[in-house]
Structure 1
Amino acid sequence: MKKILYALFPGNQPDQTSVSLLFTCFFVGIAGAFTMPTMSLFISEEVGARPYLIGVFFMVMTISGVLVSQIIGWWSDQGVDRKRLILICNMMGVIGFTIFAFNRDYWVLLITSAIFISATSAAIPQVFALAREILDRNTRPSETFSSLLRAQISLGWVIGPPIAFLIATSVGFTQLFLLAAFMFVILCFVTYFTLPQIEPTPKHTQFDPSDSIWRDKNIILLSLSFVFMYCANNMYIISMPLYITHDLQLDSSVAGIMMGTAALIEIPIMLLSGRYALRFGKKKMITAAILAGSVFYIGILVNSSFIGFVLLQLLNGLFIGVTAALGISYFQDLKPKKMGQITTLYSNAIKTGGVLGGVLAGTIADIFSFQVVFGASLLLTVLSFLTILKVRDA
């Protein structure tokens, strides 16, 4: 068992840098899992905002997160030290969640989320970019360790939400947000004292337009593919609890069991994905995972039993586990000279898919039905499959 675990680390041996990167991913993941699932409840009950203002809040937070993280990604590729950027992102988390703990004014919280909370979302892409840069400079393969890093975020989301709701309902949101702020304080110390400072790669003096990520057809197509697949996934996540309780008249706990089962399946799949990617290739594995997602949505459309829904999570776990584990490396392989921007673009493609999924799920369910929502998810995975076929193999 020890030998298998150590095989996931660069050089088959844990060291201070790799352990620090894992710790950072886990704590950023669990801080997000502590706050994001309870945020709508907080804005509604504690702040007293109307439903449409809650929608505006999440839209502003997501859009600002995409813009801020892409700007930070550009800075990192211009030679700004990634360690310093990660430290700044963590400090923004401390400030942002401290304000959330003690303030209940909607507009103050909206501005806080747009400036401070949105910056925390840039930390993870920079951690992945730093890890890839370290591995590349030591001529070590990145697939397995990147999968291990990504699994830490999923682990945070397995244990975070139940604890968050327990704290919010039994103790209060002030304590919940103070705990999140304290996590970012710890991350500041871990970043400052343990993460290495990498000398920036010398930049070309002349600007080459062809080197831009926005002019690379493969990057654009891969980004669209990930937008499609995570739009489908978010539509499913939003609609499934309501479909389970309203249309099928099953207990609401069924949806929780389904999502918890999927998260548990994703973690070992993520850990195995890096190893098998070296044998079969990232593009083939991601393409196969998208097909598994398509079959999953077909199953959701035709199934109505509890056992069937739980068994289908194996396909869902394959879909999300493989694409989440290998997606970062695939993006990075296509544009290694733009590590900060390209890693952030991967993250933002997923966020954009999530925003579109939220809009589409509500609109389609309101006009048609939840069955049509899952049919749209199936269509989006097919579009994702057809799009990624046109991306070159890295």
Structure 2
Amino acid sequence: MKKNLWVNVREKSLFVWRIPSFPALFLINFIFGLSSSFFAPFSSIFGIDEAGMSNIGFGVFMTIMAIGGVTISSYIAKRSDTRTSRKKLMIIAAAAGVIGYTLFAFLRNYLALSLTGFFVLGTAGAAVPQLWAYARDALKQANIPAEQTPFIMNIFRMFFALSWTVGPALGSALLISVGFKGLFLSVAAGNLMALLTIVFLLKDVPRGQVSMKKAPAVGKYVKKVHIFAFLAAAFLLSTATSIHMLNMPQFVTKVLHGTEMDVGIIFSVPPMFEVPMMIIVGILATKMDNAKLILIGFATACSYFLLLNFVTEPWQIYPLQVLSAAQVSITGGIAISYFQDFIPEAQGTATTLYMNTTSIGSTLGYLLFGFISQVTNYGSLIIMYTVLAAVGLLFLVFLGKEKVKNSKASKTKVQNF
């Protein structure tokens, strides 16, 4: 049985690697993930300690960056689904990343950083959604069977997760040795490497592959109950997860009286399990209803947060991190390809809409953590984001039924549900 599973995984992995453009796409995805993992874990240290922002000022700064990313990437998504090729837009976004992070290496003025974050890095934020949409287009162009899409896209997502297993540690080493100036220049260099890879190794999507002449109205999609339910659930889980990420170190050291080593172990456990789990989840996604897998992922997240409310020692969190890895492997893996199938005629819009929703949820989480942690203890915060994740699950259970029903009815037409 184990031998057959290993053979199946190996054969599927070789199959994915042979798809035209995908080795280059894997590389670009890894580079973008590595670049983001250099900055994201140290953003608050940069804003508060390096640039001298207040806690509230930093929260506003992050909100400005998030709004810029949502606004500009949404516009770029419409362009990608109508006139401009995804390759050209990815080149623009990657170039913006080079410029933006180079400026961050030298700027310390609040207004200058905010303007750069909104306009320049807001443009750079479109790179990953467009890359994911390009990957789906590449699958269609290569005539890959639809039932293989969830597995392939989960492998694709795995490369982004893989970059985060080493990125924060490398970023920390860079920060210690060369400071924020060197760190941001390294991120800019990563974007430059991605830019060159896009220019020389990716081909333009033929005009015939673009199915729309008019930009899609996002509102008409969001009004559909199952799409709204999924976005609301993703938003709530993203908010809960971002609060959890900020809260965990404080909870371990100040409530459980653990050490920084405990925190390091806690954050190191999930990535070790996420990579193999993403492969397994991808295989399962080709054999069962993806709607059920998504529900399992959200239920796992709720169970993980709920169990955290009962821990009394840091070591008790170690085994729970396997649940964290499991939920990320599902909600961070097949969730995007699952949502892309809601709007098959506008992959750029679908991908950006999903990523913008989770980005806004994360930003809200940052703000909620900053304000609420001042009036309550870190243990109580766990209860709050457990409730947020549970409400997200309820959205899927009760309002997502229409999509589950439709996916079953259309199973013979669209096999990747």
TM-score by length of 1: 0.93
What is the alpha-carbon distance in structure 2 between the residues aligned to residue 199 and residue 83 of structure 1?
Answer: 11
What is the alpha-carbon distance in structure 1 between the residues aligned to residue 250 and residue 315 of structure 2?
Answer: 18
Q: 1:208 to 1:353 in 2, by over 3 A?
A: closer
Asked whether the equivalents of residues 277 and 285 of structure 1 are also in contact (C-alpha less than 8 Å), the reply is yes
Q: 1:205 to 1:20 in 2, by over 3 A?
A: closer
Q: Give the superposition deviation at 1:318.
A: 1.1
Q: 1:376 to 1:191 in 2, by over 3 A?
A: same
Matching of residue 357 in structure 1 with residue 365 in structure 2: yes
The number of residues matched between the two structures is 393
What is the alpha-carbon distance in structure 2 between the residues aligned to residue 295 and residue 263 of structure 1?
Answer: 19
Which residue in the other structure is 1:94 paired with?
98
Asked whether the equivalents of residues 270 and 324 of structure 1 are also in contact (C-alpha less than 8 Å), the reply is no
> 228, 241, 247: which one pairs with 1:233?
241
Which residue in the other structure is 1:122 paired with?
126
Letter in 2 for 1:341: T
Q: Give the superposition deviation at 1:253.
A: 2.3
Which residue in the other structure is 1:32 paired with?
36
Matching of residue 296 in structure 1 with residue 301 in structure 2: no
Q: Give the superposition deviation at 1:206.
A: 7.8
What is the alpha-carbon distance in structure 2 between the residues aligned to residue 350 and residue 70 of structure 1?
Answer: 14
Q: Give the superposition deviation at 1:44.
A: 2.9
> 2, 7, 16: which one pairs with 2:12?
7
When structure 1 is superposed on structure 2, of 44-53 and 253-262 the one drifting more is: 44-53
> 274, 281, 288: which one pairs with 2:282?
274
Q: Give the superposition deviation at 1:361.
A: 2.7
Which residue in the other structure is 2:414 paired with?
none
Matching of residue 346 in structure 1 with residue 354 in structure 2: yes
Q: How does 1:1-394 map onto structure 2 within 5 Å?
A: 4-8=9-13, 11-15=15-19, 17-140=21-144, 141-200=148-207, 201=209, 203=211, 212-389=220-397, 390-391=399-400, 392-393=403-404, 394=407
What is the alpha-carbon distance in structure 1 between the residues aligned to residue 308 and residue 126 of structure 2?
Answer: 34
* SS at structure 2 position matched to 1:279: coil
Asked whether the equivalents of residues 305 and 386 of structure 2 are also in contact (C-alpha less than 8 Å), the reply is yes
Q: Give the superposition deviation at 1:127.
A: 0.9
CA RMSD of aligned residues (A): 2.1
Q: Give the superposition deviation at 1:210.
A: 9.8
State percent identity of aligned pairs. Answer: 25
Asked whether the equivalents of residues 16 and 22 of structure 2 are also in contact (C-alpha less than 8 Å), the reply is no
Asked whether the equivalents of residues 256 and 314 of structure 2 are also in contact (C-alpha less than 8 Å), the reply is no
In structure 2, the gaps of 5 or more residues are 1-5, 408-417
TM-score by length of 2: 0.89
Q: 1:210 to 1:250 in 2, by over 3 A?
A: closer
Asked whether the equivalents of residues 223 and 346 of structure 1 are also in contact (C-alpha less than 8 Å), the reply is yes
Asked whether the equivalents of residues 364 and 372 of structure 1 are also in contact (C-alpha less than 8 Å), the reply is no
